[in-house]
């Protein structure tokens, strides 16, 4: 037997010994038998922890695996990190949402303020409204001599929807001064201005606009984007209708 075979046989006998079985028949007596005797002595060496040490271990076991304390005292690091990362993620998301909301609010406020400041948009609206009232209401009035021609205006499909609101254009023009910066007000005023131009062009015999009625507050109401047939706002070139 070479050394590997002797070693394998020795280990096998030791395992049998540790398993409570008697060693097998030795292929050779002598040194191997002495080694197995020594191995038997080694297997008999057993130490035992002190009662205090064993009690401390039992206490630790009870603490670790008790249903209430075990989870709280020593949770695996991976699970703790998972919880922490989840909270951290939620915190980051909430911060981002707050930042985005704040920035959006600021941008909207800036846009509203800028539109309110620009001369071609919001400030022109309340100034334009007084001279527009007679020009719009005149053709719609049924007592007007030109009212007989009004149907010709309403015949036009494109004018039909626009003429109807002009009858109520007076109340709609009133709110803009109180809400000069709102987008809705801008839209409403834009529609009214468009109506005025079209009505002026299509109704014959209507007196031309008197420049004296213009108080000159802006002086360029004809320059507004509502006057542009292409509906191009020169003050806001990027905002076409």
Pick from 1, 15, 27, 164: which binds other proteins (CB under 8 A)? 15
Cβ–Cβ < 8 Å for 192, 169: yes
Report the nearest approach of other proteins to the CB of residue 95 (Å).
Answer: 32
Does 48 sit near other proteins (CB under 8 A)? yes
Distance (Å, whole) CA 165 – CA 172: 9
| 129 neighbors 180 (Cβ within 8 angstroms) | no
Determine, following the binding rule CB under 8 A, whether residue 68 of this chain makes contact with other proteins: no
- The candidate with the shortest Cα–Cα distance to 184, out of 193, 175, 194, 195, is 175
Q: Is 7 in the site for other proteins (CB under 8 A)?
A: yes
The C-alpha atoms of residue 196 and residue 16 are separated, in whole angstroms, by 111
For the bound state, the minimum distance from the C-beta of residue 96 to other proteins, rounded and expressed in Å, comes to 32
**Which residue's CB is nearer to other proteins, number 64 or number 96?**
64
Number of residues that bind other proteins (CB under 8 A): 41
Give whichever of 59 and 102 is closer to other proteins, judged by the CB atom. Answer: 59
User: Of the two residues 80 and 231, which places its CB atom closer to other proteins in the complex?
Assistant: 80
- All residues at 6 or more sequence positions from 123 whose CB lies less than 8 Å from its CB, including other chains: 116, 117, 180, 217, 218
Residue span binding other proteins (CB under 8 A) among the ranges 38-46, 138-146, 153-161, 205-213? 38-46
Distance between CA 28 and CA 11 in Å, rounded? Answer: 15
**Of the residues 25, 29, 30, 41, which one makes contact with other proteins according to CB under 8 A:** 41
| Nearest CA-CA partner of 182 in 225, 240, 125 | 125
Closest CB to other proteins among residues 8, 184: 8
Interacting residue with other proteins among 24, 28, 57, 232 (CB under 8 A): 57
Looking up tokens 């007007």 gives 144
């Amino acid at each position: 037997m070479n050394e590997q075979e002797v070693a394998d046989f020795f280990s096998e006998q030791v395992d049998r010994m540790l398993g409570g079985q008697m060693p097998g028949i030795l292929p050779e007596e002598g040194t191997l038998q002495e080694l197995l005797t020594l191995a038997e002595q080694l297997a008999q060496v057993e130490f035992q922890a002190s009662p205090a040490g064993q009690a401390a271990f039992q206490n630790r076991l009870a603490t670790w695996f008790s249903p209430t304390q075990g989870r709280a005292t020593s949770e695996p690091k991976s699970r703790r990190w998972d919880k922490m990362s989840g909270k951290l993620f939620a915190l980051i998301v909430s911060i981002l949402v707050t930042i985005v909301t704040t920035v959006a609010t600021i941008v909207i406020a800036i846009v509203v303020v800028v539109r309110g400041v620009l001369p071609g948009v919001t400030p022109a609206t309340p100034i334009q409204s007084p001279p527009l009232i007679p020009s719009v209401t005149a053709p719609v009035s049924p007592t007007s001599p030109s009212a007989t021609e009004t149907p010709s205006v309403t015949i036009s499909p494109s004018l039909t929807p626009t003429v109807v609101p002009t009858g109520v254009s007076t109340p709609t023009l009133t709110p803009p001064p109180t809400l000069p910066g709102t987008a809705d007000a801008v839209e409403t005023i834009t529609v009214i201005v468009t109506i005025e131009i079209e009505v002026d062009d299509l109704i014959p015999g209507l007196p031309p606009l008197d420049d004296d009625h213009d108080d000159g507050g802006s002086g360029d109401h004809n320059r507004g984007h509502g006057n542009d047939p292409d509906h191009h706002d020169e003050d806001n070139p990027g905002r076409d209708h």
